[in-house]
Amino acid sequence: MSTTNSAVKTRSPLSERLDLIISPVFAAALAILGFAVWTYSDLDKITIAILSPDKVQRQIGETLILGLTSSILVVLIAVPVGILVTRKGYPRLKSLLVSTLGLGQALPAYGLIVIFFSFMGSGIVTVILALATFSLLPVLRNTIVGLEQVDKSVIDAARGMGLTARQILLKIELPLSVEVILGGIRTAVVINVGFSALAFLVGGGGLGETINSGLKLDRGPAILIGAVMVAIMALLFDFLSALAQKYLKPRGL
């Protein structure tokens, strides 16, 4: 039992508790700020039009689609590739992928969206692919790190018990590394939801439209409320990811 519990490095109980407290607290504080601005600011007709409930609901839906779809795409690509490059015979491919994606993430998200726009044109698909490319590295890197830090003695013991490579992966390596992998997915989701505010630049919609309209028409309350909504969504997804990271790991770790 002690060998299994030490197979991967785990977070302290204090760190886990803070994970489940900080994001909701900040989200609540931002919600109070947005409500106060909406309630007590002297909003003119233009600002009210920018913050029309129909527009905001549509933009929230678009932001959710952008953030979640790009994150799902990242998981479908990065986790299998991370598993592949940790198998024997792929060390060079691992280094190449991490280095290449590291360079890609060094680009500003704005620049990456513009690059995709120049090849694919405007639309939500362009933004989804750009966001997925931008956030691939955290998931790929955490998948590799999570799998490689599983105690080799545990894997050797499983081989000695007659388990196949596939059984070892599914029953030992992935369960023991799931917390680390989910940490990378958590980072990717927050990145994708946050940067989806840039989608309006190439016709992808999202809450960035509200922020952009506020900037163009010099309406501070609209800018603030739009930014607050994006931040609240990112914090809520961070909280949900923290819950998954806490409760999806094997018991006893």
pLDDT, averaged across the chain: 86
Total-model pTM: 0.85
Total of domains in the chain: 1
pLDDT of 100 reads 74
- Residue 189 near residue 237, CB atoms below 8 Å: yes
Q: Is residue 115 part of a domain?
A: yes
What CATH number is attached to the domain comprising 24? Answer: 1.10.3720.10
Distances (CA, A) of 98 to 9, 42, 168, 199: 22, 50, 25, 26
pLDDT of 27 reads 93
List Cβ neighbours of 119 (8 Å cut-off, separation of 6 or more).
none
Q: Is residue 252 part of a domain?
A: no
Q: Is residue 163 part of a domain?
A: yes
DSSP reduced 3-state for 233: helix
Of residues 251 and 34, the one with the higher pLDDT is 34
Q: Is residue 5 part of a domain?
A: no
Domain that holds residue 180: 11-247
For the beta carbon of residue 139, count every other beta carbon within 10 angstroms.
Answer: 28
For the beta carbon of residue 149, count every other beta carbon within 10 angstroms.
Answer: 14
Task: Fill in the DSSP letter of residue 198.
Answer: G
Residue 139 has pLDDT above 90, yes or no: yes
- Residue 181 near residue 203, CB atoms below 8 Å: no
Ordered DSSP codes for 129-182: HHHHHHTHHHHHHHHHHHHHTS-HHHHHHHHHTT--HHHHIIIIIHHHHHHHHH
Residue 131 has pLDDT above 80, yes or no: yes
Least confident of 17-26, 97-106, 119-128, 192-201: 97-106
pLDDT of 6 reads 41
pLDDT of 110 reads 82
Q: Is residue 1 part of a domain?
A: no
Q: Is residue 68 part of a domain?
A: yes
pLDDT of 223 reads 94
Q: Provide the token pair at 133.
A: 């490319």
Q: How far apart are CA 23 and CA 29, in angstroms?
A: 10
Q: Is residue 2 part of a domain?
A: no
pLDDT of 13 reads 66
Q: Is 9 left (phi over 0), alpha (psi -120 to 50) or beta?
A: beta
Residue 109 has pLDDT above 60, yes or no: yes
Confidence of residue 11 (pLDDT cuts 50, 70, 90): low
Model confidence over 202-247: pLDDT tens digits? 988 999 999 999 999 999 999 999 999 999 999 999 999 888 888 8
Q: Is residue 3 part of a domain?
A: no
